[in-house]
């Protein structure tokens, strides 16, 4: 199971990196979304896959009586999902605004902040 998931994480990362290498903001955005999911799966796998009971303590006990699944990776993933979702939302709006203002979604054409024909500083006083 771990091996299969590890391979799947690799596949996610491959797609994400391929998309992030694109010049187009929309593809990069898709890359970011896939990368986030790949990392979540990675944390899940790194936290050990067990087919145990859910981590709920019965009413009459103070500690679980059987081996239970590890809840911590799930808490980590939950945090990471929330964060990556908010980032995705921000980047989506940013991409739209960039398309409206700069009239391009090609990062090579985004040269407003760093103009290609920038003048050199004066060499004499």
Partner 1 sequence: MAGSSDTIVDLSQAMVTAPTTAADWLVIAPVALCLTFSALSLMFRKDVSRQAPLAIVGFALLLIVAILLLRHVWMNGTMVMTMGRWLPPFGISFTVDMLGAMFVLTTAVIALLASIHALADLDSTQLRYGFFPFLFLMIGGVCGAFLTGDIFNLYVWFEVLLISSFGLLVLGSEREQIDGTTKYAYLNLVATTLFLVATGYLYGIFGTLNMADIARKAPLLRETAPLMTLAVLYFFAFGMKAAAFPVNFWLPASYHTPRIVVSALFAGLLTKVGVYALLRSLVVLLPAERAILAELIAWVAASTMLLGALGALAQNDIRRLLGFVVVSGIGVMMAGLALGSPLGLSGAMVYAVHSMLVMTALYIAAGLAGSITGSMAIGATGGGHKADPLLAFAVPALRPSRAGPPPFSGLWPKAMLVKASLDVGAWWLAGAILLTGLLTSIATVRVFLLACWRDRETVEGATSGGLLRAAPLAALLAMTLAIGVYPQPLLEAANTAAAAILDNAGWAAKVFPEAVQP
Cβ neighbors of 45 (< 8 A, separation 6 or more) are: 2, 5, 6, 9
Binding mask 14-53 for partner 1 (x = CB under 8 A): ------x----x--x---x--xx--x--xx-xxxx-----
Q: Residue 100 is encoded by which pair of tokens?
A: 């409206």
CB of 54 to partner 1, least distance (A): 18
CB of 106 to partner 1, least distance (A): 11
Binders in 81-110 for partner 1, by CB under 8 A: 83, 86-87, 90-91, 94-95, 97-98, 101-102, 107, 110
Alpha-carbon distances of 118 from 14, 56, 58, 98, 125, rounded to whole Å: 36, 63, 69, 22, 20
């Amino acid at each position: 199971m771990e091996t299969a998931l590890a391979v799947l994480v690799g596949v996610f990362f491959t797609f994400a990196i391929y998309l992030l290498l694109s010049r187009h903001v929309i593809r990069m955005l898709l890359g970011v979304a896939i990368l986030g999911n790949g990392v979540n799966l990675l944390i899940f796998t790194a936290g050990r896959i067990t087919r145990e009971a859910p981590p709920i303590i019965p009413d009459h006990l103070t500690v679980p009586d059987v081996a239970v699944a590890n809840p911590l990776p799930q808490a980590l993933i939950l945090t990471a999902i929330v964060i990556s979702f908010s980032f995705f939302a921000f980047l989506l709006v940013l991409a739209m605004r960039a398309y409206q203002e700069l009239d391009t979604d090609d990062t090579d054409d985004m040269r407003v902040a760093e103009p290609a024909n920038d003048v050199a500083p004066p060499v004499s006083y």
